[in-house]
């Protein structure tokens, strides 16, 4: 179906979610005639710098922006650098929205996260509770920076009639993630650790950090990418929308690790848990009711299948992946 001519600039185009969007557009038939998708990385311009941001927009003249770029990390990276996660993300987000406004971009879709909601809250969390209390201490910097995206969106929309909206993904995993041993999220971090442990248990006697009891909803990056492409094209509400698997898909970290062991063919019973390490938020269960009311037929990839695909991707791309 022909669509209006649009040029979609994807910031953070080289990351986990950016690469998934690129894969969907270029390999999974999501492309539409009349659309140009540009996937940029920090090599194309440092979004921390206003003039670099202006140069990037001047070069590509986007009509739409899918704003994924951010300083992103797992629980332990956030605990170690809350100030950096606040300042860097505040700067990137202010620059991108300011230049999008200056250059009259039709629509900007930015990213919040399910981990930025109030920690003391009733479940399931929905889109209306974003500012109803402080976030979990472990990632207050990242959380407040992300909440300010929603405040900036409201400011530009009300004062300048802009169409700046945000999506709220839950924990994401998939190919092209950051598999660093220490500053990554739990799934890529454990895939890397278990892979090394399997190669040489003596050299890599690691323990799974925390108790394994916390609960998470994990969304496969390819599923999230399809939903984000839909938001860019066909979501016109000004309020944020949660993009997550349902409440019933919530699993414990322990069960997620068990699935990684299946994906890497490693005996789970060989692993130990180091309960001296922080667990982070116990749960942050979100409702995807708003999404499912609009897209009742959307189906999520089963966790076991997507984890297997991610493990296989990691093993195949070990030498070149981000780790
Ligand atoms: P990611 O893999 O770390 O990708 C983020 C990208 O941002 C990186 O590829 C990086 O590009 C780019 N970036 C960082 N600083 C930049 C700068 N100063 N200038 C230009 N580009 C810069 O992260 P992700 O997991 O894809 O996350 C994408 C979005 O989803 C983020 O906004 C994140 O907050 C949000 N989100 C992620 C999760 C999750 O579980 N992963 C959950 C909820 C929300 P370079 O590599 O070129 O530096
Ligand atoms: O993915 P993760 O770091 O993010 O998961 P959060 C942390 C949970 O996994 C904790 C356990 O319960 C950890 O105890 N865990 C076990 C590990 N082993 C590991 C490991 O090797 N690495 C990591 N990272 N965790 C993040 C936020 O919270 O959620 C970010 O801090 C971001 O800001 C992300 O928004 C989506 O879900 O706990």
Residues with Cβ < 8 Å from 33, sequence gap 6 or more? 2, 3
Tokens of 8: 């979609």
Residue nearest to atom 36 of ligand 2 (CA): 171
Confidence band of 29 (pLDDT split at 50, 70, 90): confident
Report the DSSP pairing between strands 241-243 and 171-173: unpaired
Q: Is the dihedral of CA 229, 235, 240, 242 positive or negative?
A: negative
Q: Up-side HSE of residue 271: CA atoms within 13 Å toward CB? A: 28
Rounded to whole angstroms, the Cα distance separating 248 from 250 reads 5
Name the average pLDDT for the chain. Answer: 97
Tell which residue, 77, 91, 78, 69, has the closest CA to residue 19.
69
Confidence band of 149 (pLDDT split at 50, 70, 90): very high
Give the tens place of pLDDT for each residue, 198-226: 999 999 988 999 999 999 999 999 999 99
Rounded to whole angstroms, the Cα distance separating 255 from 113 reads 22
276: pLDDT strictly greater than 90 = yes
DSSP codes joined into one string, 26-63: HHSS---TTEEEEE--TTT--TTSHHHHHHHHHHH--S
Mind telling me the catalytic residues? 142
Rounded to whole angstroms, the Cα distance separating 323 from 321 reads 6
Residues with Cβ < 8 Å from 176, sequence gap 6 or more? 15, 16, 19, 20, 221, 313, 321, 322
Collapsed DSSP state (helix, strand, coil) of residue 22: helix
Give the tens place of pLDDT for each residue, 174-205: 999 999 999 999 999 999 999 999 999 999 98
How far does residue 268's CA lie from ligand 1's centre (Å)? 31
Query: Is 255's C-beta closer than 6 angstroms to any atom of ligand 2?
Result: no
Residue 3 pLDDT = 57
Segment 52-76 mean pLDDT: 98
Rounded to whole angstroms, the Cα distance separating 90 from 140 reads 13
Collapsed DSSP state (helix, strand, coil) of residue 8: strand
Taking each continuous run of H as one helix and of E as one strand, the counts in the chain are: 10, 12
Of residues 30 and 68, which shows the higher confidence score? 68
Segment 102-122 mean pLDDT: 98
CB 16 within 8 A of CB 174: yes
Residue 4 pLDDT = 74
Residue nearest to atom 37 of ligand 2 (CA): 171
Report the DSSP pairing between strands 164-169 and 241-243: parallel
Give the tens place of pLDDT for each residue, 38-48: 999 999 999 99
Q: Which of 13, 68, 220, 241 to mutate to test the pocket of ligand 1 (most atoms within 8 A of CB)?
A: 68
Rounded to whole angstroms, the Cα distance separating 224 from 170 reads 9
1: pLDDT strictly greater than 50 = no
Segment 266-270 mean pLDDT: 95
Return the CATH fold of 6-173+218-246+285-301: Rossmann fold (3.40.50)
Segment 51-77 mean pLDDT: 98
271: pLDDT strictly greater than 80 = yes
User: Whose atoms come closest to the Cα of 187: which ligand?
Assistant: 2
236: pLDDT strictly greater than 80 = yes
CB 215 within 8 A of CB 282: yes
Tell which residue, 47, 41, 46, 35, has the closest CA to residue 7.
35
Rounded to whole angstroms, the Cα distance separating 175 from 322 reads 10
Give the tens place of pLDDT for each residue, 155-175: 999 999 999 999 999 999 999
Residue 121 pLDDT = 96
- Domain map (residue ranges) of the chain: 6-173+218-246+285-301
CB 71 within 8 A of CB 85: yes
How far does residue 322's CA lie from ligand 2's centre (Å)? 17
Residue 206 pLDDT = 87
Tell which residue, 60, 69, 64, has the closest CA to residue 94.
69
Tally the residues of the chain.
Answer: 323
Segment 97-120 mean pLDDT: 98
Residue 30 pLDDT = 87
How far does residue 196's CA lie from ligand 1's centre (Å)? 25
Angle ∠(96,78,192) on CA atoms, nearest 5: 105
User: Whose atoms come closest to the Cα of 9: which ligand?
Assistant: 1
């Amino acid at each position: 179906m022909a669509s209006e001519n649009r040029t979609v600039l994807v910031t953070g185009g080289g990351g986990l979610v950016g690469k998934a969007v690129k894969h969907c557009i270029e390999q999974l038939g999501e492309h539409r005639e009349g659309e140009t998708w540009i996937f940029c990385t920090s090599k194309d311009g440092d979004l921390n710098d206003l003039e670099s941001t202006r140069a990037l927009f001047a070069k590509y003249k986007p009509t739409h922006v899918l704003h994924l770029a951010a300083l992103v990390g797992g629980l332990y990276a956030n605990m170690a650098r809350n100030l950096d996660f606040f300042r860097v993300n505040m700067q990137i987000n202010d620059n991108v929205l300011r230049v999008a406004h200056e250059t009259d971009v039709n629509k900007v879709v930015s990213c919040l996260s399910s981990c930025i909601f109030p920690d003391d809250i009733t479940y399931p969390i929905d889109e209306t509770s974003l500012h109803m209390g402080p976030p979990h201490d472990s990632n207050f910097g990242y959380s407040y920076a992300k909440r300010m995206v929603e405040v900036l969106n409201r400011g530009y929309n009300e004062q300048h009639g802009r169409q700046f909206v945000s999506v709220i993904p839950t924990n994401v995993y998939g190919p092209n993630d950051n598999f660093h041993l220490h500053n990554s999220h739990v799934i890529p971090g454990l895939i890397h650790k278990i892979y090394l442990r399997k190669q040489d248990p003596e050299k890599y006697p690691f323990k799974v950090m925390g108790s394994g009891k916390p609960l998470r909803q994990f969304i496969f990056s390819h599923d999230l990418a399809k939903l984000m492409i839909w938001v860019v094209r066909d979501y016109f509400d000004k309020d944020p929308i949660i993009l997550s698997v349902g409440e019933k898909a919530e699993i414990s970290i322990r069960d997620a690790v068990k699935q990684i062991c299946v994906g890497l063919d490693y005996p789970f019973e060989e692993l130990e848990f180091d309960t001296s390490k922080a667990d982070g938020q116990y749960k942050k269960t979100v409702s995807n009711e708003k999404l499912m009311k609009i897209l009742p037929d959307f189906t999520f990839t089963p966790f076991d299948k997507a984890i297997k695909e991610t493990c296989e991707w990691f093993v195949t791309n070990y030498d070149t992946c981000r780790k």
